[in-house]
Amino acid sequence: MAKRYPRTLSSGANNTVIAINETEVGKLFTGDTRSDIGSEAEKMKFANTVNSLIVKFLRLDVSEEIDADMLVMERLYPLDFRAYEYERRELWFDVFEDEIAQLHKAGFVHRDLRRPSDMPGLRYDNIFLTEKGLRLIDVGISALKSQVGERLFKRFIEQEHKEMEEFRTFFLNR
């Protein structure tokens, strides 16, 4: 079981996200988390220059209270998509699909739309419906084309397209 920190919002395989205030959250990096705070921040900043699909990067910081490095991001408040009509969800999905395509064209792939089946949590925990539409969180395993090369990037996009089709079915028909 993951360690519980004050104001915990969620915990994944490597990190915990805590509420800092009403507008900010911090993804904690403590000890050997098997993820690189700097790399994640750079990927998030890159994606933020393309469009607003990825949660907004705010800064890197330190929590003295819990002795952890933090990647500070905007705080999102997810809505339950099942409260909205099919037609509205269809529109949100179309915009989501366009924004994913923009990220791909710019050289960014999220790579974590669907959780691996052995991970606890909901299947699409990294996709939030907000008042501004669908948004993506957690760019920990995302990739930049400039870092992984053309062939691997293309493979990642192919996998993401499959996950998008699965998510489309889930989101529209649930």
Kindly report the average pLDDT of the chain as a whole number.
91
Domain that holds residue 30: 8-74
**What span, in angstroms and rounded, lies between the C-alpha atoms of 127 and 55?**
10
Q: pLDDT, tens digit, for every residue of 139-151? A: 989 999 999 999 9
- Write the CA distances from 17 to 5, 48, 120, integer angstroms: 9, 20, 15
Both tokens of 118, joined, read 């052995």
Q: For every residue of 45-96, which 3-state class applies, written as one string?
A: HHHHHHCCCECCEEEEEEECCCCEEEEEEECCCCCCHHHCCHHHHHHHHHHH
Residues 29 and 48 in one domain: yes
Domain endpoint, select from 74, 100, 121: 74
**What span, in angstroms and rounded, lies between the C-alpha atoms of 129 and 103?**
18
Specify the DSSP class assigned to residue 137: -
Q: pLDDT, tens digit, for every residue of 98-119? A: 999 999 999 999 998 986 655 5
Number of domains in the chain: 2
The mean pLDDT value for 49-54 works out to 98
pLDDT at 33 over 70: no
pLDDT at 31 over 90: no
pLDDT value at residue 120 = 54
